[in-house]
Amino acid sequence: MKKLLAIFCLIALVAFVEEGEGKRSKIQTEVSGDKGKGNNHALNAKKGWRTLFDGKTKNGWHIYRGEGTGNSWQIEDGALVFVPSTEKGVKNGGDLTTNEEFENYHFSVEWKISEGGNSGIIFNVKEDSVNKKSYLTGMEMQVLDNDRHADAKIIKHRAGDLYDLISSSKEVAKPVGEWNKAEIIYNQNELKLFLNGVNVVSTIVGDDNWNTMVAGSKFKTMPGFGKYHKGRISLQDHGNKVWFRNIKIKQL
């Protein structure tokens, strides 16, 4: 009888351990659900995030001041990819822009750049008949191959920089072929940029320091630059191949 009782207890213990491992495995899967390719919509929604790219279509996007999305922006393995017009059959480029405008938000995206490539994430973009380019109003978080592109030699033009305004506080960009995670937090004029989990830029848009920076930059002749606190987000066509995935936003 004692022997049978011992066997029964052993069976119950094994079942309990297996159930616990199963639960832990499920939790790990859920926590890491937004990593890598694809989008975990349920987990994002639970945390207050909205997915802006479903990994399959270009719904919710258009070419800045254009109709449709053209064929330079393509979908490859769950990522939005800009394919240069030098490749056969590719045309109709331009900055890929959200249909919606956003105000007070936390934006997150993963990117990787081609060898010698240049691109950017342009935000608070005012799209109208006056401003022919997204950068005339929108600020840019730089996307760049720091090792090979000539812009990397220019201060405030490297990956993660607030383009032509503020250099990253720390060099954390990953090399060509690897994914980088960029985050833009804009809330009540306070701006913070994060690259791979590091807060690389912090500033107040519109204060005296900001106005001095703009006056000393290439944006000084652009009267609408940085003036809008609500706007669209554009992924830049700079003529080089670039990939974006896991694009999402949270209203603050």
User: DSSP of the chain, one letter per residue?
Assistant: -HHHHHHHHHHHHHHHHHHHHHHHHHHHHHHTTTSSSS--HHHHHHTT-EES--SS--TTEEETTSSS-TTTEEEETTEEEE--TTSTT------EEESS-EESEEEEEEEEE-TT-EEEEEEEE--SSS--SGGGT-EEEEEE-TTT-GGGGSTT-STTSBTTTB--SS--PPPTTS-EEEEEEEETTEEEEEETTEEEEEEETTSHHHHHHHHTSGGGG-TTTT--SEEEEEE---SS-EEEEEEEEEE-
18 against 141, higher pLDDT: 141
Classify strands 230-235 and 96-98 as parallel, antiparallel or unpaired: antiparallel
Which of these ranges, 14-18, 94-98, 171-175, has the smallest mean pLDDT?
A: 14-18
pLDDT digits (tens, 9 = 90+) for 122-176: 999 999 999 999 999 999 999 999 999 999 999 999 999 999 999 999 999 999 9
60 pLDDT tier (thresholds 50, 70, 90): very high
| Confidence category of residue 89, pLDDT binned at 50, 70, 90 | low
Sign of CA dihedral 8, 13, 16, 22: negative
Confidence of residue 90 (pLDDT cuts 50, 70, 90): low
pLDDT computed for residue 18 by the predictor: 46
In percent, the amount of the chain with pLDDT more than 90 equals: 76
pLDDT at residue number 215 = 98
Residue 16 has pLDDT above 60, yes or no: no
pTM of the model: 0.82
pLDDT at position 41: 64
Tell me the pLDDT tens digit for each residue of 175-233.
999 999 999 999 999 999 999 999 999 999 999 999 999 999 999 999 999 999 999 99
Which tokens go with 67? 């109709």
CB 172 within 8 A of CB 194: no
What contacts 138, CB < 8 A, 6 or more positions away?
122, 123, 124, 125, 126, 228, 231, 232, 234
To which residue do tokens 């405008």 refer?
Answer: 101
Mean pLDDT (whole number) for 18-46: 48
Mean pLDDT estimate for the chain: 87
Choice among 23-37, 93-107, 151-165, 203-217 with the minimum mean pLDDT: 23-37
